[in-house]
Chains A and B, each alone.
Chain A
Amino acid sequence: MQIASKEVSATSLVKAALEKAKRCENYNIFISLNEEAALKKAQEIDEKIKKGENPGKLAGVPYALKDNFLSKDGNTTAASKILEPLKSPITATSVKKLEDEGAIMIGRVNMDAFAHGSSTENSYFGPTKNSKDEARVAGGSSGGSAVAVALDIVEFATGTDTGGSIRQPASFNGVYGFKPTYGAISRYGVVAMASSTDCVGFFAKSAEDIDLLMSIAAGQDPYDLTTLPNYYETSEVKDVKKVGIIKDFDVKGEIKEALEKEVEDLKAKGIEIVELEMPTLKYALAVYYIVVPAEISSNLSRYDGIRYGYRNKDAKSLDEVYGKSRSDGFMPENKRRIMIGNFVLSSGFYDAYYLKAQKARTLIIKEYEKAFSKCDFILSPVTPNPAFKLGEKTSDPVSMYLEDVMSVPINLAGLPSLAFPVSETKDGLSLGLQLIGPRRSDKSLLDFAERRLK
């Protein structure tokens, strides 16, 4: 990526990014721009460069922030009404680390409200359009992040991936999207969705750029007790010999062709291909849509119209404050998930749904462990289909969920996965695949992608 230097000023990089963001308004990528603060920061970095001080590893690099990250720059909405844009008094640890290295946030980007969705259509601010075809969805939930990188507005963007929210939009827009091992990057200051699967990650134009971002952002944080001691920089890079492909997924059409071509390329490079039987994976989507709504219903109970955010002005009693504020403030998909979550956790259904799903989750984890005893990494599609049309699935939530069938299993197991672009359909839509590794194999995955998948 282009870093500011004596020859190329941070101010010129930031100005160019802001201008491009404005030219691409029709895609509905940004919820808010951070123009004034970004230009001020660029000036400070240019001063440092002039004085010969160290401006940081990401000096003057413009980036887009998914709008579920808190920072003192701009207001956070999580693409919802209920945060009534929140002027945050704190900054997320991941944002602080990037900015300490000189990265400059030029704006906050669109997403499905509270990251609930696979298309960015479930945003209070309207959908973001696909970078290759404006009649199609950007993917989601981090749709704005993917399109901002794909249209070359910014060098990188942050995202969150609870069930595919980085990899699927990356794949729909022809960019790299990385979901690290669970616990690699602090979640402090990120709007919580499902705490046992939420991961912070990145969109960029190469695996090499993501490696740089990971080396900066990964590490233990006293404010997020699930973070792992930093393994990223110290982990050894594996000599990859075997890549597995999953026999159980029903892969069709142009995605199948892309997968087969990648397999041939790997074989030509001397990699052995191993066929894996993973029969439990077909239950992962059902497990996901039990466990995740359960955690959502708990995490989203904090939006009460009392402590921060939106409060319905006509509410006369305390019950009305809760009920009316929550009804106005959440999108339909938020409501569905909260209600499903409360249902599967309720005393009469807990054993049949929630407990059963957590047991199935153990089986899924074991199935991956077995798979990784036979191969170093797994190669898989990210989605069953390329980007679908705007409005095509909004009236049928289950058909929308089915788009996540190949992305959610890895979140349940806490594994890292890199979505990378491979080719385009005959209609010019992006096709991507994902490379999945065992926990803590993040650096090896990115290294393999950089050296062997090009």
Chain B
Amino acid sequence: MLSNFSLEDAEAEALGQDLSQIIEYISQLDELDTEGIEPTYQVFEMENVWRDDEIKAQEADREALLALAPEAEDNQIKVPKVL
């Protein structure tokens, strides 16, 4: 559900088998003692990098971005009815 795929049964089954194998492989990490070790999320330990809160001209404007949408109308991207 999280991944948002509509899978046919055969494909889901094949994927399920592959995923079990992969999870089995990555589970070997259980052996490694990581007690008291801090996690690394970014190799240079960068955290928030700020920039000035100013609007700058962008390479792609609104029209160019809207033109990429599979369906658009009146300056908006169109999707099937939700409600």
Contacts and interface: CB of A to CB of B under 8 A. Distances in A.
A289 B22 contact: yes
Given A321-B80, A335-B5, A363-B34, A305 B25 contact: no
Interface residues of B, number: 49
Contacts of B34: 356, 359-360, 363
Interface in A202-233: 222, 225-226, 228
B70 A306 contact: yes
A271 B79 CA distance: 64
Contacts of A297: 2-3
Contacts of B80: 315-318, 320-321
B40 A89 contact: no
15 contacts: A89-B61, A89-B68, A90-B59, A183-B44, A222-B51, A283-B31, A290-B26, A304-B4, A310-B70, A320-B6, A323-B5, A336-B19, A338-B5, A359-B38, A397-B18
Interface of A: 86-87, 89-91, 182-183, 196, 222, 225-226, 228, 280, 283, 285-287, 289-290, 297, 301, 304-311, 315-318, 320-324, 326-327, 330, 332, 335-336, 338-340, 342-344, 346, 352-353, 355-363, 365, 396-398, 401, 412-414, 439
A196 B42 contact: yes
A336 B21 CA distance: 11
Contacts of B46: 225-226
A102 B77 CA distance: 38
Nearest to A279: B32
Interface in B20-71: 21-23, 25-32, 34, 37-44, 46, 49, 51, 59-61, 64-65, 67-71
B38 A362 contact: yes
B3 A283 contact: no
